[in-house]
Amino acid sequence: MTPTLFSPLQLGAVTTPNRIFMAPLTRCRAEAHNVPGDLSVEYYRQRAAAGLIICEATSVSPTGFGYPNTPGIFSDAQVAGWRKITDAVHAAGGRIFLQLWHVGRISHPVFQPAGALPVAPSAIRPKGQVFTGTAMADYVTPRALETDEIPGIIAEYAHGARNAKLAGFDGVEIHNANGYLLDQFLRDGTNQRTDNYGGSLPNRARLTLEVARAVVDVWGGDRVGIRLSPGGVFNDMRDSDPLATFGYVLRELTPLRLAYAHVTRVTAQDVAHGAVEGVGPRELRPFYSGTIVSAGGFTYETGNQALAEGWADAIAFGVPFLANPDLPARFHTGGALNAPDESTFYTPGEKGYTDYPQMSAGVGA
């Protein structure tokens, strides 16, 4: 039978009642010391009808931040904050994974301990600017990690994975996408190293695979996902042969029997910033026999089409879930969708966060 967005899915060790997943969405609402607060408890609880909630990107290290008011998963207080969220989501019948994150060069000394330089595979400054919390500032040239520092990075991901288990998550997703640290190591546009972590494709993929194995050692493969953005150019990213690069990674990940690979597709916004069509979940499906979750501007109709064509097994919705906490119900009934308020995507407070109306309030029924 052809699956639809309302078909259940066996996602590794987790059974999801539908294939309408909530994509990870940075919302910049964490409180002091990068601890998620009570407002975030309500935000995620409202969206528990998702087949799976993939939480916002969460730093595994004090050096992993690059945006104001984003959460971490390396301190006891952060674990306690997340525990309130997982308890609320589970009480509402939901399933929830945490996305493990290190931004690498997409940072600024203002976010770094003692004002240090951000770290990266190579000392290549990204184009663009970063919001420091008070103003926009040019990105700086990062410091290239020394070879003997890399085991410490892997250990930070493993520590974050262990803390996510203590916080009550159902699993974790490794953020290996969107121009952040692991993606920077993987692609030849940002990795110009000459040691065992640079040069050849197997060397550039080494950190991705070592982190994946370390996280699997904590959780087991059936509760671990990984996010990849093969066609993305966000954060000044490029690769000379993305089909070969990401095809290799997916083949090498297959023996780990991960719960899923979360592979984004190229959107119109990506194309407007220089991305090229032709490398995404459809093209990479032959390289990976496991479950593929995809994201990237899907609608109810195009999501069902991707499932029917077999190049995706579930669809992660970002902005639609941001503005519609009851998105599965709206899809099921054909209810109208709330319009997202972009001016509140990253601002503090409940406006544009927990105050979007649900159909039970008479909207979109």
Q: In this predicted model, what pLDDT tens digit does every residue of 63-120 receive, in sequence order? A: 999 999 999 999 999 999 999 999 999 999 999 999 999 999 999 999 999 999 999 9
Confidence of residue 360 (pLDDT cuts 50, 70, 90): low
Predicted pLDDT of residue 362:
41
**C-beta separation of 155 from 202 below 8 A:** no
| Sequential DSSP letters for 340-360 | P-GGGTT-SSSTTTT-PPPGG
pLDDT digits (tens, 9 = 90+) for 303-339: 999 999 999 999 999 999 999 999 999 999 999 999 9
Cα angle at 347 between 43 and 175, to 5 degrees?
65
User: In the Cβ-directed half-sphere of 95, how many Cα atoms lie within 13 Å?
Assistant: 20
With CA atoms as reference, report the closest residue to 332 among 66, 30, 7.
Answer: 7
Helix, strand or coil, per DSSP, at residue 51:
coil
pLDDT at 269 exceeding the cut of 90: no
Catalytic, 353? Answer no
Q: Provide, rounded to the nearest whole percent, the portion of the chain with pLDDT above 90.
A: 94
Residue (of 284, 231, 289) closest to 260 by Cα position: 289
Whether residue 142 contacts residue 109, with contact meaning beta carbons closer than 8 Å, is answered with no
**Domains in the chain: boundaries:** 9-329
User: How far, in Å, CA of 21 to CA of 166, rounded?
Assistant: 23
Q: Which of 92, 101, 37, 104 is nearest to 72 (CA)?
A: 101
Tokens of 251: 């083949």
d(CA 81, CA 289): 36
Q: How many helices (H) and strands (E) does the chain have?
A: 12, 14
Mean pLDDT of the chain: 96
**Cα–Cα distance measured from residue 295 to residue 317, given in angstroms and rounded to the nearest whole number:** 6
Residue 45 token pair: 């609880």
CATH for 9-329 is 3.20.20.70
Q: How far apart are CA 347 and CA 344, in angstroms?
A: 5
Give the pLDDT confidence score for residue 277 in this predicted structure. 77
Which tens digit of pLDDT belongs to each residue from 136-153? Answer: 999 999 999 999 999 999
pLDDT in tens, 152-163: 999 999 999 999
CA proximity to 219, closest of 55, 100, 315: 100
Region 15-41 average pLDDT: 98
Q: Which alpha helices (DSSP H) does the chain contain, by range?
A: 38-46, 76-91, 150-166, 181-186, 201-204, 206-219, 242-253, 268-272, 281-284, 300-309, 319-323, 327-333
HEC readout, 183-210 = HHHHCCCCCCCCCCCCCCHHHHCHHHHH
Catalytic residue among 44, 67, 139, 180: 180
